[in-house]
Amino acid sequence: MLEGRKGVVLGVANKRSIAWAIARAAQAAGAEVALTYATDRFKEGVEELGRTIGCKHYYPCDVGSDAEVQALADGLKRDLGRLDFLVHAVAFARKEELAGGFVDTTREGYRIAQDISSYSLTALCRACKPLLENPGEGRTSSVLTLTYLGGQRVVPNYNVMGVAKAALEASVRYLAADLGPSGIRVNAISAGPIKTLSAAGVNNFSTLLDTMPDRAPLRKNVSAEEVADAGTFLLSEAARGITGSVLFVDAGFHVLGV
């Protein structure tokens, strides 16, 4: 589905990352995939994973830094020449903000969550737009981000991250409108709870995992591989008519009222 395509995946932290599952699925579908790492602490692990899929290009990128975002775009232009897809799987909030009540969110905690989890998508789209636009007659390029039901419904302890995800989903719609004339699609996947490094920061996250098999219509938790398969679809030309959308991959949990 992605034969001959080139793209970059941000957000790989370890082998359990949804970002890693998407990178692996994209490579299996024929794409050339570049990877980023947030800090030097993650560099060795990301490169070790990347070697298993033949990744040749790695870039440091703290998405809270405009300089590093631009350096990433410059590096991708130098090494790949163009981008057919960009995967934004980045989110962060202070651990202390992910417990108790949302009303206790600090000003700085709110700023950090919005900057890293939401605004970074806009910053990346702006910097990488020249690489993504005008992909060729009859073709589109694709930007994909990850969200969660907590951006639309109240999920205990998700707090400021839920508000950041709501802003992220609104950004998807506005970016889709802005970038569509250049042949760039922008979509999000709202994944069910998956045990990842970032999810571990949410207080009582295990309760969400335990609830899914009992209540979700498909009576199961979803896997990172299921999310990655949906992501591969959205990155491909099979989804060429889809933009500005949130695709739920959560075993149907989002349809429940109570």
> What is the per-residue pLDDT across 216-253, written as a single tens digit (0 to 9) for each?
999 999 999 999 999 999 999 999 999 999 999 999 99
Q: Does residue 258 lie within any of the structural domains?
A: no
Could you tell me if residue 149 is inside a domain? yes
Q: Is the pLDDT of residue 205 over 80?
A: no
Q: Is residue 1 part of a domain?
A: no
Work out the average pLDDT over 168-175.
98
Nearest to 132 by CA among 186, 63, 89, 168: 186
Tell me the C-alpha distance between 3 and 60, whole Å.
26
Catalytic residue among 58, 119, 148, 174: 148
The one catalytic residue among 37, 59, 110, 158 = 158
Looking at the 3D structure of the chain, how many domains does it have?
Answer: 1
The whole-angstrom separation of Cα 187 and Cα 72 is 21
Please indicate, yes or no, whether the overall pTM of this predicted structure exceeds 0.85. yes
Catalytic status, residue 58: no
What CATH number is attached to the domain comprising 217?
Answer: 3.40.50.720
Lowest mean per-residue pLDDT among 98-102, 178-182, 185-189: 98-102
Residue pLDDT, tens place only, 125-139? 999 999 999 888 889
Domain extent for 81: 6-253
Give the torsion through C-alpha atoms of 253, 256, 257, 258, to 10 deg.
Answer: -80
What residues are paired with 37 via a beta bridge? 60
Residue the block writes with tokens 């990155």:
235
**Residue 148 appears among annotated catalytic residues:** yes
